[in-house]
Chain A
């Protein structure tokens, strides 16, 4: 076959760098710089020694980078009279976060499943009430909650703080899972019922395996939320179980002796490491999970 010679525009449209595109890149770049500078300062300060910090050259790279401040922050920094570093807080936070995340997600998914498939009289009202719970400012209920926990003997205990996190996570977890399950075809549930599966069999064998994307989202939301919590931990956890955030504050705010900026920076980065790692590792799934929930099951 003979090739026909085409004149005029043909084939794919040529891509040109336009002014508006340059503007977009410029904006993105400056936004990235804006968010990176504090992190940069923290990182280099934590690697400097105190004499170097006193020079006041905030943006200068460390002359002799060392992890001494990190080691001290982890194992020796003082908060009040104790000098065990931030590691106690880290392990406390782990002990609080893992059960709280697990329990709130399990309960939230069961709630969401029941509310979207097993509609019963008043289920919409119940859902509305639960949603309302998400908008109640929690300062309002702190005092009654303290009394309640004191009465049942859980105030200032690990169980108590886990219970509190589970309760506060319930509305948003239920909402997340209910919306996700509502996006699944109703016929799937009907088919399982005709097949003879009961409430739990449908939940565990059909719905749970389908809800992996939304579960990833839930894990991210809850882990970062609970890990970053300060107020609830301070109030309900008790002195033995203070989470990392509270202990970080105690270390940074200690007014005794010299302020060790490098240790403070290192302790702060250590505290932020867990949520940061979760975002970096699961960001892809996070976006995918939200998109999957929004469009289709």
Chain B
């Protein structure tokens, strides 16, 4: 059963086509993350679902009800914003109860709901403070509370953690995940942070230029990116690329050939076309390993020690390549190393259409 269905959604401003024929089904209780760089239309899509933007064409269904023309308040949604958007002149308690009061709910019921939400979010001691007296993390918790008291099935998050510092972001991320496991609501979460997307999502929709590039589980997106854009977007440092040609079971570049034994082609059969070979930094090694094939020898350009691991940069075929190795590795700048690659973990993309082969 679908919680949210978006059908043939189009949004145009005067000259900009922001969302293009978008179709998306979100299951009940699912945590869906809309991921993309700024300007890709992810926040716009969320605002359309909320009813805060008028759409040009298409339909939006929430809980099997066509809400395309309905007001935000009638759609059964709660929304959390990046800037928290708490009402500055009201106490936390008033912030939480404002929507319910506007609705004309009985006082006892409002009390009950505010109590329940503040208990879940552990903001009970803050109820009589004003937003200006709260820290960033507390404010965002209150903002989540404001969605919580509405007792709705669908939560919409618009980059809720982007204004917080790194430590708080990690803490609150875990809390949001816990909240989802506890409440089991449908959650749609917009972010440009791939770590948030990978850690939180049941499914990720990666967007670019108003279109969904890939809609899949985090594991799938990471290990089987459907096109070059997704492959480059996810992962840090991003995937290494090599331009060449797929010939049968081999990838050929210049005079060299890499045997692709074990690579799962989407379309079996004879391949012979210009393409890119992509490989993530952690699927390269500085020495022979089981199942790995040698790629090249290179001189270390830059070392980035990060404690648990070290990122080794080198130049290869006119591009910057990176390898992730264990932090214990003793390496020196300018040292010569042999680079080995795991062909089973490689990715091949057509040069022409940029889709996965």
Q: Which residues of A contact B (CB under 8 A)?
A: 185, 187-188, 190-197, 201, 205-206, 209-210
Contacts and interface: CB of A to CB of B under 8 A. Distances in A.
B83 A195 contact: no
B87 A194 contact: no
A132 B72 CA distance: 36
Contacts of B83: 185, 187-188
Given A185-B85, A187-B82, A187-B85, A194 B73 contact: yes
Contacts of B73: 193-196
B72 A194 contact: yes
A194 B98 contact: no
Most chain A CB atoms below 10 A, which of B71, B78, B82, B102: B102
B102 A191 contact: no
* Interface pairs A-B: 10 shortest CB-CB: A196-B73, A195-B99, A187-B85, A191-B85, A187-B81, A209-B89, A194-B72, A194-B79, A188-B85, A197-B102
A187 B71 CA distance: 16
Contacts of B99: 194-197
B81 A190 contact: yes
Contacts of B88: 210
B170 interface: no
Interface string B4-27: 000000000000000000000000
Contacts of B103: 196
Interface string B103-115: 1000000000000
A216 to B, nearest CB: 16
29 contacts: A185-B83, A187-B82, A187-B158, A188-B87, A190-B50, A190-B72, A190-B79, A190-B85, A191-B81, A191-B85, A191-B143, A191-B146, A192-B87, A192-B98, A193-B52, A193-B73, A194-B50, A194-B77, A194-B78, A194-B79, A195-B73, A195-B98, A195-B99, A196-B71, A196-B72, A197-B99, A197-B102, A209-B89, A210-B88
Contacts of B85: 185, 187-188, 190-191
Contacts of B102: 195-197, 201
Contact of B98 (A185, A190, A197, A210): A197
Nearest to B147: A194
A209 to B, nearest CB: 4
Contacts of A185: 83, 85
Contacts of A191: 79, 81, 85-87, 143, 146
B347 to A, nearest CB: 39
A186 to B, nearest CB: 9
B343 to A, nearest CB: 48
A210 B77 CA distance: 26
Interface string B46-62: 01001010000000000
